[in-house]
Chain A
Amino acid sequence: MADEVILLDYWPSMFGMRTKIALAEKGVKYEYKETDPWVKTPLLIEMNPIHKKIPVLIHNGKPICESLIQLEYIDEVWSDAYTILPSDPFQKSQARFWADFIDKKFYDPSWKVWATMGEELVAAKKELLEHFKTLETELGDKPYYGGEVFGYVDIALMGYYSWFKAMEKFGEFSIETEFPKLTTWTKRCLERESVVKALADSDRIIEYVHVMRKKFGAE
């Protein structure tokens, strides 16, 4: 029986982009369903009753929620293709640590930098730069976060790539100037078809950010 794979996602979501990259890396065919998370459709509520958020991966009718959990699931189900997570327990724990860092620490200032004003904005800018610096240092001279192979942390962070231009614009900094290693890494990741196809256009994201800023009263 053929697998039925559906992805409930929203085009600007950095989290959905991660799942799209992973599915493409594994060569999994799926049906993409554009789902505005502000509009709680019956399908979204049925598939993610707890959080009512996207992305939701539906595999043969069963939902898997939360992008990082989806990455591990995809890695375990479609396991004959290349692996997203390393097999060594310590390397795996390192990968999980950094993906968690991205979501726990990097995420908040990454949106506050375009959504807030005044003191909140100043604090967000400072924090965002600090976290970019931490990520630059952690990458070091490795081709990818996991070492030689594109993997879990790379996918977790590249999900945010479409939003980098918006972060730079409103955060008033240049990633290329401040973080050369990260810049080289993004270029390397952008050579992958799975990544290019999954990402939204950066300028379209900036347009979206302008709409969201008006909603938040930041412009």
Chain B
Amino acid sequence: MANLPILLDYWPSMFGMRARVALREKGVEFEYREEDFSNKSPLLLQSNPIHKKIPVLVHNGKPVCESLNVVQYVDEAWPEKNPFFPSDPYGRAQARFWADFVDKKFTDAQFKVWGKKGEEQEAGKNEFIEAVKILESELGDKPYFGGDSFGYVDISLITFSSWFQAYEKFGNFSIESESPKLIAWAKRCMEKESVSKSLPDSEKIVAYAAEYRKNNL
């Protein structure tokens, strides 16, 4: 059997999920390896000595690190099926901008919503709602951020939807009431097998977040 690409990952990580969705979109068979952060594997430490984080995609023995980097790599290494980007440079720049927005503005805010309490959590909730409204405005009436086809920005954001229930529970608010279009978009994406197979159950995420809050707050 040929060497399959290996994905070093961690089941609740929305960043790891991006890599899973990307690989499945391309129909690439891969070996999933769960990492234990209290005992990081030699392969992880060797493949990502700078950050020592997941996801790492090891393809033909060579490591690709940072989730958006992995998604772009997957698009370029398997270009024939389901391209993640439009072909025009401006459309591509826009896609990169919005995925970067998700990483810059959405990521920190969502962590504060489920991982913090008190004032920090409140601040996080406000930032989160602001970011969600901006994203909803960008989505507009398009079926996907990429337009008619599921693409790079959709991949960068959809993985957070597995955490929506956790945000709502611990942040005590309804995402649907703040951004109904985004919820509709998330449901549309979940109809894709590449997405539904790659995201864990929301209940499991809620339990994970509850455990984290119990131990850390």
Contact = CB atoms under 8 A, between A and B. Distances in A.
Interface of A: 50, 59, 62, 64-66, 69-70, 72-73, 76-77, 89-90, 92-93, 96-97, 100-101, 134
Interface stretch (B15-23, B93-101, B161-169): B93-101
A66 B77 contact: no
B2 to A, nearest CB: 17
Interface in B72-123: 72-73, 76-77, 89-90, 92-93, 96-97, 100-101
B134 interface: yes
Interface residue SS majority, chain B: helix
Contacts of A50: 101, 134
Interface range on chain B (Cβ under 8 Å from partner) = 20 to 34
B175 interface: no
B64 interface: yes
A73 B73 contact: no
B93 A64 contact: yes
Interface in B42-79: 50, 59, 62, 64-66, 69-70, 72-73, 76-77
B96 A76 contact: no
A62 B90 CA distance: 8
Contacts of A100: 66, 69
A77 B89 CA distance: 6
Given A76-B89, A90-B64, A101 B73 contact: no
A69 B77 contact: no
A105 to B, nearest CB: 8
22 contacts: A50-B101, A62-B90, A64-B93, A66-B100, A69-B96, A69-B100, A70-B93, A72-B96, A73-B89, A73-B92, A73-B93, A89-B77, A90-B59, A90-B64, A90-B77, A92-B72, A93-B64, A93-B72, A93-B73, A96-B69, A97-B66, A101-B50
Contacts of B64: 90, 93, 97
Given A89-B76, A96-B72, A97-B65, A72 B92 contact: yes
B7 to A, nearest CB: 14
A121 B18 CA distance: 36
A90 B69 CA distance: 10
Nearest to A90: B62
A65 B73 contact: no
A92 B93 contact: no
Nearest to B101: A50
Nearest to B57: A93
